[in-house]
């Protein structure tokens, strides 16, 4: 069994009336299966969603980043990546250079699709809860 240590830091001097400085760290026990940092091109909005994390017997810790590029390497500044859990309902949408890290339910696959007629290059990884 291995340990994954994610840290989330949110800081700002002007987003709220008070200075914002939040940092949270966790130690997560992980095991197989997992996929290290990888990249893939996701289909256009009318295409078939790309499965990044298959449904399994345990929950998965999932990381996804919109790289800011289309599948052909050109800038994708206005296109979003739609993240779905086991179906056609958007759970999250990422703009260029945005990312997310979340726990996905074991019985649902994590799928991604472009929000437009252009493919998007995404970075992703997942680790299975042990």
How far is the CA of 114 from the CAs of 33, 91, 105, in angstroms?
26, 13, 22
23 in a domain, yes or no?
no
107 in a domain, yes or no?
yes
20 in a domain, yes or no?
no
* Domain at 117, CATH number: 2.60.120.10
For residue 79, the model assigns a pLDDT of: 86
Q: 12-31, pLDDT tens digit by residue?
A: 999 999 999 999 999 999 99
45 in a domain, yes or no?
yes
Q: Calculate the dihedral angle through the C-alpha atoms of 51, 65, 126, 52, rounding to the nearest 10 degrees.
A: 10
77 in a domain, yes or no?
yes
Host domain of residue 99: 31-129
For residue 90, the model assigns a pLDDT of: 85
**Residue 30 contacts by C-beta under 8 Å, 6 or more apart in sequence?**
1, 2, 3, 4, 61, 127, 128, 129, 130
24 in a domain, yes or no?
no
Q: 47-77, pLDDT tens digit by residue?
A: 899 999 999 899 999 999 999 999 999 998 7
10 in a domain, yes or no?
no
Domain count, the chain: 1
Q: 79-115, pLDDT tens digit by residue?
A: 899 999 877 778 899 999 999 999 999 998 999 999 9
For residue 33, the model assigns a pLDDT of: 94
For residue 85, the model assigns a pLDDT of: 85
Contact between 63 and 127 (Cβ < 8 Å): no
53 in a domain, yes or no?
yes
């Amino acid at each position: 069994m291995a340990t994954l240590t994610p840290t989330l830091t949110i800081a700002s001097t002007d987003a709220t009336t008070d200075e914002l400085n939040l940092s949270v760290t966790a130690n997560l026990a992980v095991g197989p299966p997992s996929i290290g940092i990888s990249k893939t091109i996701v289909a256009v909005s009318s295409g078939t969603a790309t499965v990044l994390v298959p449904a399994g017997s345990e929950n998965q810790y999932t990381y996804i980043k919109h790289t800011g590029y289309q599948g052909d390497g050109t800038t994708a500044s206005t296109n979003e990546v739609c993240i779905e859990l086991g179906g056609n309902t958007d759970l999250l949408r990422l703009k260029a250079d945005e990312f997310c890290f979340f726990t996905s339910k074991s019985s649902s696959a994590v799928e991604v699709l472009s929000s437009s007629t252009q493919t998007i290059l995404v970075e992703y990884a997942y680790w299975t809860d042990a």
